[in-house]
């Protein structure tokens, strides 16, 4: 029997190379961690289904390469995203400074109503931390984007971050009085399986 769900949300992980996007995704999707993760080539994705406020939500999470040479490939994935997570490394100040550049990428390529989240990863490396929580929080508050620090290594706030993102999207849909993923962003009708969507010519991205 095909897997059913109430919502299908497409999320995108962006940020500089080496900030731990793939490790965050591995931790959330498979509850695993590896120190020897290779840099993503182009894009990769994983799926996890969660229960959120009594609804079944399937999250299709795309992990993009941070290197400049892959930017054009990654840009194509912005358009269909319901939520975009910008990740920086708390031990590398430049990756935090570059969040502004990633925001510009979102403005350029993503839908107008896409939900956003900023993650400061590698919070377990306390002795090497150079980006203060207060500074990042102040920046995020100024631009009206939720912020959380995580550690993919010890699993701190990883689950919470992705659920926060999913809740943002779900709340946005409720505010619009819709019962499906935003059609502008390539969503699918709530309460139908991906297989049914595919058969009826719906989104299978």
pLDDT in tens, 152-180: 999 999 999 999 999 999 999 988 875 44
Given a cut of 50, is residue 79 above it in pLDDT?
yes
Structure tokens, 71? 């930017």
Query: What pLDDT score was predicted for residue 192?
Result: 39
Given a cut of 60, is residue 188 above it in pLDDT?
no
pLDDT band at 117 (very low <50, low <70, confident <90, very high): very high
Share of the chain above pLDDT 70, in %: 76
Domains assigned to the chain: 7-199 (3.40.50.300)
- 23-71, pLDDT tens digit by residue? 999 999 999 988 765 555 557 789 999 999 999 999 999 998 755 555 5
Structure tokens, 70? 């892959």
């Amino acid at each position: 029997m095909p897997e059913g769900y109430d919502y299908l949300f497409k999320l995108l992980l962006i940020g500089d190379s080496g900030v731990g996007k793939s490790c965050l995704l591995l931790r959330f999707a498979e509850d695993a961690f590896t120190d020897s993760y290779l840099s993503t080539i182009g894009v990769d994705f994983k799926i996890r289904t969660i229960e959120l406020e009594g609804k079944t939500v399937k999250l299709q999470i795309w992990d993009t390469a941070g290197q400049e040479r892959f930017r054009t490939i990654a840009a194509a994935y912005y358009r269909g995203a319901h939520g975009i997570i910008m990740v920086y490394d708390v031990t590398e100040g430049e990756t935090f400074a570059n969040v502004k550049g990633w925001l510009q990428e979102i403005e350029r390529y993503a839908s107008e109503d896409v939900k956003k989240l900023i993650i400061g990863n590698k919070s377990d490396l306390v002795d090497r931390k150079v980006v203060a929580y207060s500074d990042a929080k102040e920046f995020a508050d100024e631009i009206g984007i939720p912020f959380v620090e995580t550690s993919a290594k010890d699993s701190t706030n990883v689950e919470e971050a992705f659920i926060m993102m999913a809740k943002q999207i779900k709340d946005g849909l409720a505010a619009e009085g819709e019962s499906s993923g935003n059609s502008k962003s390539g969503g699918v009708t709530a309460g139908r399986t991906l297989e049914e969507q595919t058969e009826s010519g719906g989104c299978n991205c």
